[in-house]
Amino acid sequence: MANLVIVESPSKATAIKKYLGSNYKVIASKGHVRDLPKSSLSVDIENGFEAHYINIRGKGDLIKEIRREAKNAKKVFLAPDPDREGEAIAWHLAAALGLDPEKTLRVTFNEITPDVVRAAIKSPRAIDMNLVNAQQTRRIWDRVVGYKLSPYLWKSVKNGLSAGRVQSVASRIIVDREEEIRAFVPEEYWTIDATLEIGDKSFTVRFYGNADGKIKLPDEASAKFVVSAVTDKEFKVKSVKRSTRQKLPAPPFTTSTMQQEASRKLGFQSQRIMRVAQELYEGVNVGAENGGVQGLITYMRTDSLRVSVEAQNAARELIAAKYGEAFCPKTPRTYKARAGAQDAHEAIRPANVALEPAKVHKYLTVDQYRLYKLIWERFVASQMESATLSTQSLELEAAGYIFRASGYSVAFPGYMAVYEESEEEDARADAHGEQRDLRIPDLVEGTGITAQSVMPQRHFTEPPARYTEASLIKFLDEKGIGRPSTYNTIITTIVSRNYVTRDGKSLVPTPLGEVTTRLMKENFSDIVDYAFTAQMETELDEIEEGNAEMTAVLEKFWQGFSRELASAEQTIGKGDFRLPVEETDIVCDKCGAKMVIKNGRYGKFAACPNYPTCKNTKPLEAEKPQETVQKEEKKAPVVADFKCEACGADMVQRTGRYGTFFACSRYPACNFTKQKTKELDVACPKCQSKILIKTGRNKTVFYSCERYPECDFSSWDMPVAKNCPNCGKMLFRKKGKALLVCHDKDCGYRCETEDTQDSTVSEA
């Protein structure tokens, strides 16, 4: 009788099965198996917030299969991810399967490697109900807020809106920043740069002030006054200071810092970052010479900076061997996490630091390689010696005015030989900051120099930058709003619900987002209050640690929230929360009114403003004039969010005989190309990788595995997220037909449907 191990994902199951051998059977639950039903509140507020869970639609056959395997197993190991959500999945599995507590054990893997997996199986524990209750509290909070607020939004703004607890705060953050930008009044200021030359070396110094201190130059007149005073005057050296300073490496990644850095350096959105990190954690086949299928990184949802002693020692050995003893500090580096951080898991690091990115490059997708390289370099650098910088500062006087220059050069690279942390755009050194690699000539105090040029320049102060995903995650993390595992969901939700839209990397509030935020601030101030939301997260932490009780926390929240609901009910219809109408130049041919833009099921369209008296509608985009088409064709090409795999240059979008593709911007010097593809939210039936939607000859759409030609799966029919009720294999939608068929031709299952569209079937 074999033991049964239940994990979340099929890819993780493959790796773990290999490590445990024939005495263990490993099966995947594919995420949650139970949840609150969508059709009702399903939380009994009057009776201790009792939650009524049901099996998720479409999981019935899977639950039966797992229950059958569990019944025949010697022991059952529940092994979902090692966090609150994973603990809740384990608890729901035990309930849905009716497992015997005596033979049901909980195990967690911080990394999917042979030693860690085997050690975890030898040290099982019981399900931690504190973790489960923390997750339940969050789920009940979100359900109550969503169900109670949404009807209010329907009555006040428009039908179909939904409100979320943390998502509403995130929308407010972006709206508040937009209001700051609108209210910002730019101020003029001037700078003066003098170019000096001594011998064959030239350098630039900037106006600072006088002996009494810094002087601001608010207008052209004040700048010209200084310029005229110092023109043709001698610049006398007052001081030249040279020193050295140590620059410490950045700590290894937490979830928050990984998302910020991958957004800035790789251009990835948070959803993409977390998906790729999950793939690296769950396991990738890196070839027999590197150990086959294994997880490449530790668990990617953490806010701890702790690193195991074994990982530190392995990193130090690699650093000494690869870079030299001088790059390895005398004692291992440790980092202190911020107050309130959870220390259940290590920081994000390579599971095996000896697997350098170059060794596994050919086995990884482009995204996997780039993110793994970032994580590997950050971790190795975090264990290296500090960089030594030679700092230099120069001060000169001319006509009683002071000019300065400061900067640094790298004397010893230390960790900078491997990795340098990026900075937010608005945090980068401005015109008054240090210059990198500044070389000041050997000057002696009292030396006189004549300026080659003295140039004034006009500037204007700039408003605060809009939030990017990276800066929003940083703000949420600093304020304690949400947790590492929720940042991706928060951003995805506010964008998908049209409260926020993307403008390049920037997040911009929509009119809907602004109106909804104003309504929430006026009627539900607690829900969108930063400190209140952060306090709720603290209370979840206290439940997890066993220092608070779930029902008491929910009761306390409900007392305040119910009062706000009652007060808001009295004000429905009193405030003006109508969405602004966007008028077009299209004239209604039935009543002569100027038509307005409306959003419908299939996107935007033009509608008569006199509805329902006049129900005329028109497509929004009429056929463009030839001159407009020609002008648009001459616009700059679209730059992809990934680099050329051959030379590292930008990739740009092109159109060829077989449709749209990406080509290297250095063509014809580099002729690398990549087909433009979209991902289907369904796993490959052969290897569980992603399925890509591709276009063949004659612009015919087909579906194939992203690992082609390593995996040869392809199909003209679309795979759907639904399994055959007969044999459990994947179903396919026949192209252009209202028909689902089984992937196994011997099974012969066929099912008529009402939908012929190319969209995945959601069972959640």
Q: Domain locations in the chain?
A: 3-127, 136-184+465-571, 188-248+387-460, 255-382, 581-635, 636-675, 678-752
Percentage of residues in the chain having pLDDT higher than 90: 46
Question: 479 or 158: whose pLDDT is higher?
Answer: 479
Taking the CB of residue 358, how many other CB atoms lie within 10 A of it?
10
Q: How far is CA 319 from CA 107, 324, 589, in A?
A: 33, 7, 75
For residue 227, name the pLDDT band (cuts at 50, 70, 90).
very high
User: What are 330-357's pLDDT values in tens digits?
Assistant: 999 999 877 666 666 889 999 999 999 9
Work out the average pLDDT over 221-240: 94
Work out the average pLDDT over 222-228: 96
Domain 136-184+465-571 top-level CATH class: mainly alpha
User: What are 685-732's pLDDT values in tens digits?
Assistant: 877 788 887 766 556 678 888 777 778 888 888 888 777 877 777 888
Ranking 50-54, 407-411, 445-449, 675-679 by mean pLDDT, the lowest is: 675-679
Q: How far is CA 457 from CA 219, 226, 395, in A?
A: 10, 12, 20
Q: Yes or no: say if 216 and 225 are a contact pair by the CB < 8 Å rule.
A: no
Which strand (E) or helix (H) includes residue 732? strand 730-733
User: Distance between CA atoms of 611 and 236, rounded to whole angstroms?
Assistant: 78
User: What are 59-74's pLDDT values in tens digits?
Assistant: 899 999 999 999 888 8
pLDDT of residue 342: 65
And the tokens for 650? 């930008």
User: What are 599-641's pLDDT values in tens digits?
Assistant: 776 677 889 988 888 989 988 764 445 555 455 445 556 777 7
pLDDT of residue 261: 93
pLDDT of residue 732: 83
Half-sphere exposure of 101 (CA within 13 A, CB side): 4
Which strand (E) or helix (H) includes residue 656? strand 650-656
CA max distance for the chain = 95
Q: Yes or no: say if 62 and 27 are a contact pair by the CB < 8 Å rule.
A: no
Residues contacting 125, CB < 8 A, separation 6+: 105, 106, 107
Q: Give one DSSP letter per residue of 339-371, joined into a string.
A: TT---SSPPB-BSSTTS-HHHHGGGS-HHHHHH
Highest-pLDDT range among 4-13, 287-296, 450-459, 700-709: 450-459
User: Distance between CA atoms of 30 and 56, rounded to whole angstroms?
Assistant: 11
User: Distance between CA atoms of 229 and 706, rounded to whole angstroms?
Assistant: 67
**Fold classified for 255-382:** Topoisomerase I; domain 4 (1.10.290)
Percentage of residues in the chain having pLDDT higher than 70: 90
With a cut of 80, say whether residue 418 has pLDDT above it. yes
Residues contacting 628, CB < 8 A, separation 6+: none
Domain 3-127 top-level CATH class: alpha beta
pLDDT of residue 575: 63
Q: Which residues are catalytic?
A: 299
Residues contacting 337, CB < 8 A, separation 6+: 254, 303, 304, 305, 306, 343
pLDDT of residue 728: 73
Q: What is the CA radius of gyration of the chain?
A: 31
Work out the average pLDDT over 14-35: 89
Question: 365 or 654: whose pLDDT is higher?
Answer: 365
Half-sphere exposure of 97 (CA within 13 A, CB side): 30
Residues contacting 182, CB < 8 A, separation 6+: none
User: Distance between CA atoms of 735 and 732, rounded to whole angstroms?
Assistant: 9
Amino acid code (one letter) for 386: S
Average confidence score pLDDT of the chain: 85
With a cut of 80, say whether residue 132 has pLDDT above it. yes
Is the C-alpha dihedral spanning 551, 556, 560, 563 positive or negative? Answer: positive
Work out the average pLDDT over 470-490: 89
With a cut of 70, say whether residue 225 has pLDDT above it. yes
Instruction: Give the SS3 label for residue 472.
Output: helix
pLDDT of residue 163: 75
Instruction: Using the structure block, give the residue that is written with the tokens 């140039």.
Output: 455
For residue 763, name the pLDDT band (cuts at 50, 70, 90).
very low
Taking the CB of residue 317, how many other CB atoms lie within 10 A of it?
13
Domain 188-248+387-460: assigned CATH number: 2.70.20.10
Ranking 264-268, 295-299, 526-530, 746-750 by mean pLDDT, the lowest is: 746-750
Strand order in the sheet with 583-587: 583-587, 594-600, 603-607, 617-619
